[in-house]
Every structure is written in structure tokens, then in C-alpha cells.
């Protein structure tokens, strides 16, 4: 083969090689563009889903304002799922599922202490009510006291271990080690980090507890309790009422609810109960704390919002918002 032909052959191979390289680069660039467009689309869908979730929060605050003005019957909204289809340009693109709940029908886990930040101390009345709740849920007396002591040690500011509790030295020996929080719980799921709270005990306890951002005895709206929440009433009575007796008290509630706390305490099962004065102050007929759980599905994206709201007068304000499920 002559030199000119060899040169033409090399040139052709070079062109073919360059074409192949350019084709590969073009395909890679197209893939990057498609991925970028998909990522942008997903980000837009997620952002839009979060906007719809925030819309449910605004609606909840409006509903609470109506409730505080006496315009909404609690039975119409408390714990009931609310469904809102998402329709844009005549096309259904998703769904909003929202559930507004009463935050005054649970035991406040932070009530086992009192005081101030960095000075939290054990509150015996809160601990006793927690033990009563645990026993109403079927926990043995020794286990109930252990769970109460470990919770108190987790929150309080001192390093002195309760008789059945656990302080920093207990958790430091674990692999990996960690320390007690020394502050109020932000959410009930933190119980999972505390000694003694395994998956089974947490699942049994979770429907009856909450973590209000205040170290106050649990406010209980006795007009909002349903039959399944009878253990909360047992807790309030420091175990004077068994769960069965508490269910009967709730079942006997007038259709319009008890008109005042005196009427509630006048129930035959409670009339002769001798309780600390602070317990009588825990009974409420109007809730101030509310929970909101929202799940949004929009154009293939999902958003989950959990919020704690506080109603004051005819207004409701946001206390905590999380973009995670309330577990």
C-alpha cells in the first residue's frame, strides 16, 4: 500500500475515532441534561408538595380559631382524617391527607420534672401520674417505676441516679456511648434512646403520651377523651380509677360534655377521691394544645409535616414544625 493511501486510511480512522468520541460525549451530555431536568422537576414537585402541606397548617390554624370561638364541634374534627384532592388545570395531580388532633388528651412526658432550663428537678406528682398511666396500660409495678425513673434521670439536670434510673455512666458504657439529654423532650420518639424503652413498650405507650414544650402537669380536656383514652383518666386520678372504671366515666359523659370541672368531679366514681390540689387544676374543658399530621402526594413527590399548635384566645400559633412523621 502506497504512502498516500496509508495516510488517507489513518485520516479516516481518526475521523471515525473522533466521531465515536463525540457521539459518546453527546450521549453523556444528553443523559446529564435529562437527569438535570428530572432533578429540577422532582425538586419543583417536592417544593410544591411542601407548599400544600403548609396550606393545611394554615387551614388548621383557621379551624382552631373557629373552635375557640365556639363555631366547631370537637367531634367533627378531632382525629378525623381530612382529604383534599390537588387539582390543577382540571387534572388531579395528588392528594392532601391531614389529621388535626387534641393535644390535651395525653400524658405530658415533660411533667416528670419541674423548675427551669439547666435546673430541672424531679417532680414527684408527675412521676406518680406516669407510673399510674403505665400500670393502667398493663406494665408491672416494678417496670413502671423503672421506666418513670429512667425518664426522669434522662431529663433532669443533676447527675444523681434515681433508685431504678440511669444517668450518664449507664449510657457511656454502651457501644457507641452517649449521654442523657438534661433537657425537656422535643418529641416522644426520644424515649427510644432511654434505657428500658424497647420497641414493644414504646408501641404500647405511644398513643397515650406527648411532649409539650413545657414542664407542666398534663392538661386534660375531659370533654375530648374517647373510650380508648381511658388510661389517661386513670393517670389523672393517680390510679384511683381502673381503666374499666374510667371507661364508664367517659361513657356517662353528657352529650354536650360536662359544663364545668365541678360537674366532672361530682361523678360517683370520683366524688370521694382524695387527690392533690394540683390534680384538680389539670382538668380543662377547652383544649389549648393541638397536633397536626399532614401527608401530601403530588406529581410523584411526597411531603410529610408534623406540627404542634397552641391556641390562645381566638388565635392559634405554631410552636413546632417538622418535616418528618410523628412516630
Average pLDDT over residues 102-110: 93
* Residue 95, in any domain of the structure: yes
* Residue 28, in any domain of the structure: yes
Instruction: Please tell me whether residues 229 and 142 are part of one structural domain.
Output: yes
Sign of the torsion angle spanned by Cα atoms 257, 210, 324, 200: negative
Instruction: Please tell me whether residues 237 and 173 are part of one structural domain.
Output: yes
| CA distances for 195 relative to 147, 178, 198, angstroms | 8, 12, 8
* Residue 327, in any domain of the structure: no
Instruction: Please tell me whether residues 7 and 129 are part of one structural domain.
Output: no
Instruction: Please tell me whether residues 159 and 258 are part of one structural domain.
Output: yes
Rounded CA-CA distance 88/264 in Å is: 49
* Residue 40, in any domain of the structure: yes
Instruction: Please tell me whether residues 141 and 249 are part of one structural domain.
Output: yes
Q: Residue 206: in which H helix or E strand, if any?
A: none
Instruction: Please tell me whether residues 93 and 124 are part of one structural domain.
Output: no
Number of domains in the chain: 2
Q: What is the pLDDT of residues 108-167, one digit of tens each?
A: 999 999 999 999 999 999 999 999 999 999 999 999 999 999 999 999 999 999 999 999
Question: What band does 280 get if pLDDT is binned at 50, 70 and 90?
Answer: very high
Q: Name the residue with higher pLDDT: 49 or 126.
A: 126
Share of the chain above pLDDT 90, in %: 61
Amino acid at each position: 500500500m502506497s504512502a498516500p493511501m496509508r495516510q488517507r486510511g489513518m485520516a479516516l480512522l481518526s475521523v471515525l475515532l473522533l466521531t465515536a468520541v463525540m457521539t459518546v460525549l453527546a450521549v453523556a451530555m444528553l443523559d446529564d441534561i435529562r437527569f438535570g431536568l428530572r432533578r429540577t422537576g422532582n425538586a419543583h414537585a417536592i417544593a410544591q408538595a411542601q407548599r400544600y402541606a403548609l396550606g393545611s397548617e394554615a387551614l388548621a390554624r383557621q379551624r382552631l380559631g373557629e373552635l375557640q370561638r365556639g363555631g366547631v364541634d370537637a367531634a367533627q374534627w378531632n382525629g378525623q382524617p381530612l382529604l383534599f384532592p390537588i387539582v390543577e388545570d382540571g387534572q388531579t395531580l395528588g392528594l392532601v391527607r391531614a389529621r388535626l388532633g387534641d393535644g390535651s388528651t395525653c400524658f405530658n412526658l415533660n411533667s416528670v420534672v419541674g423548675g427551669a432550663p439547666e435546673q430541672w428537678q424531679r417532680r414527684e406528682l408527675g412521676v406518680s401520674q406516669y407510673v399510674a398511666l403505665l400500670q393502667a396500660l398493663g406494665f408491672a409495678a416494678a417496670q413502671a417505676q423503672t421506666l418513670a425513673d429512667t425518664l426522669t434521670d434522662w431529663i433532669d439536670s443533676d447527675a444523681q441516679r434515681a433508685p431504678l434510673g440511669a444517668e450518664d455512666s449507664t449510657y457511656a458504657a454502651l457501644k457507641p456511648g452517649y449521654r442523657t439529654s438534661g433537657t425537656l423532650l422535643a418529641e416522644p420518639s426520644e424515649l427510644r434512646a432511654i434505657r428500658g424503652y424497647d420497641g414493644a413498650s414504646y408501641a404500647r405507650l405511644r398513643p397515650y403520651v406527648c411532649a409539650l414544650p413545657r414542664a407542666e402537669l398534663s392538661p386534660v380536656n375531659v370533654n375530648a377523651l374517647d373510650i380508648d383514652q381511658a388510661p389517661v383518666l386513670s393517670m389523672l386520678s393517680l390510679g384511683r380509677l381502673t381503666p374499666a372504671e374510667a371507661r364508664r366515666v367517659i361513657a356517662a359523659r353528657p352529650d354536650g360534655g360536662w359544663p364545668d370541672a365541678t360537674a366532672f368531679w361530682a361523678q360517683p366514681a370520683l366524688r370521694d377521691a382524695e387527690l392533690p390540689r394540683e390534680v384538680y387544676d389539670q382538668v380543662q374543658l377547652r383544649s389549648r394544645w393541638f397536633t397536626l399530621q399532614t401527608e401530601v402526594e403530588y406529581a410523584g413527590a411526597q411531603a410529610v409535616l408534623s406540627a404542634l399548635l397552641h391556641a390562645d384566645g381566638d388565635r392559634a400559633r405554631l410552636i413546632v414544625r417538622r418535616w418528618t412523621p410523628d412516630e
